[in-house]
Amino acid sequence: MHLNEQQILMLRLLEDPLPDSDFMQLRRLAVQLLSRQLDNIVDQWEEENDVTAETYETLSKQHFRGQ
């Protein structure tokens, strides 16, 4: 597996261990960023597929049976 330039730069930034509190803060920020990106992807998918709150409400009332 080859690392891309961004991954290499991140590894260089984190070459020396961070204090635990700084590392936890960095982790939280990364999770927030990924969460926002996922929200944007889902929002775009819902818009492209005309999925609304009513769609989810209808689906929540249906019975799904395993096969």
- What is the pLDDT at residue 15? 92
For residue 9, tell me if it sits in a domain.
Answer: no
Cβ pair 58, 50 in contact under 8 A: no
**Residue pLDDT tens, the chain, 67 long:** 899 999 999 999 999 999 999 999 999 999 999 999 999 999 999 999 999 999 999 999 898 766 5
Residue 8 lies in a domain: no
Q: Could you tell me if residue 1 is inside a domain?
A: no
* Per-residue confidence (pLDDT) for residue 63, from 0 to 100: 81
User: Which pLDDT value is given to residue 23?
Assistant: 94
8 A C-beta contact, residue 3 and residue 11: yes
> Exposed (0-12), middle (13-18) or buried (19+): which is 46, by Cβ within 10 Å?
middle
Does some domain include residue 44? yes
In-domain check, residue 52: yes
The structural domain count of the chain equals 1
pLDDT score, position 67: 54
Does residue 37 sit within a domain?
Answer: yes
| Structural domain that includes position 45 | 19-60
What integer pLDDT is reported at residue 64 of this predicted model? 76
Instruction: Provide the CA 66 distance to its chain's centre, in angstroms.
Output: 28
Assigned domain for 65 exists: no
